[in-house]
Structure formats: C-alpha cells, structure tokens
C-alpha cells in the first residue's frame, strides 16, 4: 500500500518554471507527485517537465485531453514520451477516444522503454454542482449518477482510473473495484478556505472513503510555510489510512 506521503499530489498552479522549481525543491521530500496543469504548461511549455524531472519530481500532467480519437491518441503518445507519471483525458470524449489514449500510451512507453504512465479520466469537475450540471450543461442526472456513468466507461475503455470529487469516492470504489485509481481534488483541510471548489472533504475523510491520491494546491502552495502545511495534510491522511 502506498504511504500517505506518496498519495499526496501538489498542484503547481504557478506561472513560471522558477516558481515551480522552488516549490519542488521545498516539498520533494514531503509529497509524492507534482501536478503541472494548463497554467504552468502553457506558460513554459514541455521544457518545464524536463526541469522538474531533473529535480527528481514525479509529474501528473493535467491537460485534460478532449478531442477526436486520433488527435488524443497522438497527443497521448507525445505526453508519454515526456516520461510523466500520470496524465488525464476527459471521459466525456467517449470510449473510442479513451481507448486511443491508452493504446498510444502503451505503445509509446514500450517503444521508448519507459514506464507506462497512469491514464486517468476526468469526470465531473469539482467546480460543478447539481444546479450547474442540470441548468447550464443540460445533463438530467445527479452529479453522482453522471460521475459513475463516466467512471464505468473509463474502466471499460482501459483507463487506470478517474479524477472525481471526494463526494463520489465511495460509489466509484464500489462500482469499479479496489484496483481502480481515484485521484481526488477538492480536498481542503479544516484549517483552509474552500476557494472555488464546491464538493469538498478533508484529507482524512477522503482517504477513509477510498481515494488513491489527493490533489492539494493553495492550502500548501499559498501557505506561509508550505512544508509545514504539507506535513499537516500528510498527518491527516495517515489518520485516515489507519481507520
């Protein structure tokens, strides 16, 4: 079983490689994975991945690929070639698209003799609540029903797991099994503000519910002491793992 530290993903939601490198240097011994999202990747490009890898960072590349199957397959091959630990696609892109991502990732990792990255599907964003899902997106299901539908589709498509809010962890675990990876944003310790996340839990609650990895950004990166904040979150996760 992964240790609590290795389950913690820190979101590097910054503009520059220098800022990201500073955070990695500070936190490398206290967390397992660093998330590079659209903000940093679009600012610095693929070079930032090389720079963070040179520091020993494991990277979750959070670009949420969503396009026709051929395009997503080609992009997945490129991302796999960057040597990332994990990357994601949108489950809303459908089964053929997700299968293309998995196939390209497996083939590229094999041809380059690289570890195969985890390919994860994004379900319903944690900023989306039931009102938005129904009234703005036109989906006449509850959030939980839609998350489960997309999680099952992701598993059928060969994905390693999904990104889902803490509130859907238990039902995904029941539906998709113990080996299915659940990456959980929307995690906020009791001492931190919720910001724009709507469906949230504490780190202890999320781990107890069955999350594989927790994504935490501002409660760590915006803290006066990021290392101490990471340690506090890991301690909360350890409590959850003991339950």
197 is in an annotated binding site: yes
218 is in an annotated binding site: yes
Domains of the chain with bracketed CATH: 4-242 (3.20.20.70)
Q: Which residues of 108-137 are buried (b: 16+ CB within 10 A; e: fewer)?
A: bbeeeeeeebbbbbbbbbbebebeebeeee
Q: How far apart are CA 236 and CA 221, in angstroms?
A: 17
Q: Would you please indicate which residues are annotated as catalytic (active-site) residues?
A: 62, 64, 67
Q: Give the relative orientation of helices 143-156 and 169-176 as an angle to the nearest 10 degrees.
A: 40
117 is in an annotated binding site: no
Going by their DSSP bridges, the two strands 59-65 and 8-11 should be labelled as unpaired
188 is in an annotated binding site: yes
Q: What is the dihedral of CA 134, 153, 101, 199, to 10 degrees?
A: 40
> Going residue by residue through the chain (243 aa), what tens digit of pLDDT does each one get?
789 999 999 999 999 999 999 999 999 999 999 999 999 999 999 999 999 999 999 999 999 999 999 999 999 999 999 999 999 999 999 999 999 999 999 999 999 999 999 999 999 987 888 999 999 999 999 999 999 999 999 999 999 999 988 889 999 999 999 999 999 987 888 776 555 545 568 899 999 999 999 999 999 999 999 999 999 999 999 988 885
Helix (H, G, I), strand (E, B) or coil at 65: strand
Q: Quick check: pTM over 0.75?
A: yes
Q: How far apart are CA 187 and CA 19, in angstroms?
A: 23
């Amino acid at each position: 079983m992964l240790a609590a530290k290795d389950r913690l993903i820190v979101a590097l939601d910054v503009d520059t490689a220098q800022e990201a490198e500073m955070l990695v240097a500070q936190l490398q011994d206290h967390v397992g994975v660093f998330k590079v999202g659209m903000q940093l990747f679009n600012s610095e490009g693929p070079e930032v991945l090389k720079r963070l890898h040179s520091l020993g960072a494991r990277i979750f590349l959070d670009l949420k690929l969503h396009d026709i199957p051929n395009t997503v397959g080609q992009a997945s091959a490129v991302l796999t070639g960057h040597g990332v630990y994990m990357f994601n696609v949108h489950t809303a892109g459908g089964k053929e698209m997700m299968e293309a991502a998995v196939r390209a990732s497996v083939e590229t990792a094999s041809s380059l003799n690289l570890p195969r990255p985890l390919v994860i599907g994004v379900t319903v964003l944690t900023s989306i609540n039931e009102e938005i899902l129904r009234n703005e997106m036109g989906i006449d299901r509850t959030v939980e029903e839609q998350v489960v539908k997309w999680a099952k589709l992701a598993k059928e498509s060969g994905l390693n797991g999904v990104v889902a809010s803490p509130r859907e962890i238990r039902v995904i675990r029941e539906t998709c099994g113990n080996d299915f990876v659940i990456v959980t944003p929307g995690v906020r310790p009791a001492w931190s503000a919720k910001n724009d996340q709507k469906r949230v839990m504490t780190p202890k609650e999320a781990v107890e519910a069955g999350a594989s990895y927790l994504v935490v950004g501002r409660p760590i990166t915006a803290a006066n002491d990021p290392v101490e904040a990471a340690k506090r979150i890991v301690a909360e996760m350890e409590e959850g793992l003991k339950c």
